[in-house]
């Protein structure tokens, strides 16, 4: 059933970095470039036409897509934002002419991802007679292993970063089509208008006020079907609710191709420390895809053949 998503602890980020070669446990300093290419905090991603983050080039390896194809996904955006924030802390101000030259996402076949920041800085005084020699190509690495989701059946699947990235790229391409964009908008509306009723699985919680629609996977699916039928989208047919292994989702055909839609798992609610269901904007692109392998490998779907 519905998983409770937890935030990644900031200390995990720091602990998982490869230590700098210049000194163990010494924070990597920062100085904003004089050219002003590093944009202010909180600014949106650079134009999707460029593979950049805050004006810094981003390369992608391990999947047949570039950063402009996968940016806009919460998981991918969170990772690069966290790396950028660590690299640009005020503690790093002691390095001369420190700048981030580029980021590199390297997606591994086991579902993990290595994010590297390639940086440069000049010879830097470090107090007394000590100094750090200039390093034009210092590499800061962060390896994120895929994680398991836990729900009623226990550990159910790897949360693969390569699947997330590939699905986001496919979704971005799909919704360039007006009909599929309409399907996506309806799926998004269901996830935004409903929260999962954890009381149905024995967990007593309170819901946000004003309370949205609440329910379980059947209710998510029924709401999605009703809205899809009412929309009468060109090319869409055979809208069906599929049930199996204590879960329900929706399939439809678009011009003969089968599309998988799971409004329950597309949504990502969370429970805060007071036991309140907090609606989040985070949506999982794997749950709207033509790709049966990614859909089923996400781990919550048992499609009868």
pLDDT tens readout for residues 213-228: 888 889 999 999 999 9
Residues 127 and 155: their CA atoms lie apart, in Å, by 50
169 within a domain of the structure (yes/no) = no
DSSP, residue by residue, 59-89: EEESSS--HHHHTT-HHHHHHHHHHHHHHT-
| Predicted pLDDT of residue 90 | 56
| Predicted pLDDT of residue 210 | 72
pLDDT tens-digit readout, 164-208: 999 999 999 999 999 999 999 999 999 888 888 877 667 777 777
100 within a domain of the structure (yes/no) = yes
Residues 29 and 84 in one domain: yes
CB within 8 Å of 74: residues ≥ 6 apart: 281, 282, 283
* Mean pLDDT (the chain, rounded): 78
Residues 134 and 50 in one domain: yes
Say whether pLDDT at 293 is over 90: no
Residues 24 and 130 in one domain: yes
Say whether pLDDT at 84 is over 80: yes
Between 69-78, 162-171, 260-269, the lowest mean confidence (pLDDT) is in 260-269
Percent of the chain at pLDDT exceeding 90: 41
The range of the structural domain enclosing residue 78 comes to 10-148
Question: Rounded mean pLDDT of 266-284?
Answer: 79
Q: Is 163 helix (H, G, I), strand (E, B) or coil?
A: helix
**Whether 134 contacts 122, CB under 8 Å:** yes
Residues 207 and 255 in one domain: yes
24 within a domain of the structure (yes/no) = yes
Percent of the chain at pLDDT exceeding 70: 73
Cis peptide leading into residue 210 (ω within 30°): yes
Residues 280 and 282: their CA atoms lie apart, in Å, by 5
30 within a domain of the structure (yes/no) = yes
Number of domains, the chain: 2
User: Regarding predicted confidence, which is higher, 110 or 42?
Assistant: 110
Residues 64 and 110 in one domain: yes
Residues 134 and 181 in one domain: no
| Predicted pLDDT of residue 173 | 94
Q: What does DSSP say about strands 276-278 and 288-289: parallel, antiparallel, or unpaired?
A: unpaired
Residues 262 and 139 in one domain: no
Residues 182 and 179: their CA atoms lie apart, in Å, by 5
Residues 133 and 226 in one domain: no
Residues 187 and 143 in one domain: no
| Predicted pLDDT of residue 121 | 87
pLDDT tens-digit readout, 225-244: 999 999 999 999 999 998 87
| Predicted pLDDT of residue 41 | 33
| Predicted pLDDT of residue 89 | 78
Domain boundary among 148, 163, 192: 148
| Predicted pLDDT of residue 115 | 97
**Whether 216 contacts 203, CB under 8 Å:** no
3 within a domain of the structure (yes/no) = no
159 within a domain of the structure (yes/no) = no
């Amino acid at each position: 059933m519905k998983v409770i998503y937890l935030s990644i602890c900031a200390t995990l980020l720091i602990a998982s970095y490869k230590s700098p070669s210049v000194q163990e446990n010494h924070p990597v300093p920062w100085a904003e470039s004089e050219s002003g290419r590093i944009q202010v905090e909180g600014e949106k991603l650079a134009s999707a036409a460029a593979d950049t983050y805050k004006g810094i080039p981003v390369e992608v390896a391990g999947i047949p897509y570039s950063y402009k194809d996968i940016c806009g996904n919460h998981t991918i955006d969170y990772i690069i934002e966290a790396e950028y924030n660590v690299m640009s802390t005020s503690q790093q101000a002691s390095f001369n002419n420190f700048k981030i030259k580029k980021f590199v996402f390297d997606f591994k076949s086991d579902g993990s991802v290595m994010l590297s920041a390639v940086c440069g800085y000049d010879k830097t005084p470090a107090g007394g007679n000590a100094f750090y020699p200039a390093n034009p190509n210092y590499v800061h690495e962060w390896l994120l292993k895929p994680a398991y989701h836990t729900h009623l059946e226990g550990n159910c699947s790897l949360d693969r970063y390569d699947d997330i990235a590939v699905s986001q790229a496919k979704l971005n391409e799909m919704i360039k089509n007006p009909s599929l964009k309409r399907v996506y908008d309806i799926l998004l509306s269901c996830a935004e208008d409903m929260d999962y009723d954890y009381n149905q699985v024995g967990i007593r919680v309170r819901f946000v006020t004003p309370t949205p629609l609440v329910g379980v996977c059947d209710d998510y699916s029924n709401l999605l079907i009703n809205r899809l039928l009412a929309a009468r989208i060109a090319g869409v047919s055979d809208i069906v609710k599929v049930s199996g292994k204590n879960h329900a989702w929706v399939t439809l055909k678009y011009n003969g191709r089968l599309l998988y839609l799971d409004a329950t798992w597309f949504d990502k609610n969370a429970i805060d420390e007071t036991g309140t269901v907090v609606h989040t904007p985070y949506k999982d692109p794997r749950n709207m895809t033509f790709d049966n392998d990614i859909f089923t490998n996400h781990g919550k779907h048992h499609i009868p053949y």
